[in-house]
């Protein structure tokens, strides 16, 4: 998939002591606000291991939609897309 010049990729990592505190949700939400507002991007792409249920829930809660699954790094990965219309529908 060609992302084009008005797209961005989102990456995050939180250590165990910070799990379940909402930090990743709030950081990702603010990143989306900035991406779609200030930067006027058309799409944000996120990738997580399909087996990482917490990350899958986070992305889906924020309005990301599953685009496809691939095998990389020796495991099944889920590629998610967010577009402004997805985000507004999720809030």
pTM of the model: 0.79
Residue 42's CB: how many other CB atoms inside 10 A?
A: 15
Q: Can you tell me the mean pLDDT for 49-76?
A: 94
List, for residues 7-49, the tens digit of each pLDDT value. 666 666 777 787 888 888 898 899 899 989 998 888 888 999 9
């Amino acid at each position: 998939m060609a992302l084009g010049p008005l797209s961005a990729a989102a990456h995050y990592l939180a250590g165990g002591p910070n799990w379940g505190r909402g930090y990743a949700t709030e950081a990702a939400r603010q990143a989306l606000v900035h991406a779609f507002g200030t930067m006027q991007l058309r799409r944000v792409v996120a990738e997580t291991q399909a087996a990482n249920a917490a990350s899958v829930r986070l992305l889906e809660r924020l309005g990301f939609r599953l685009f496809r699954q691939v095998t990389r790094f020796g495991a099944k990965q889920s590629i998610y897309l967010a577009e402004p219309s997805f985000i507004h529908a999720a809030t």
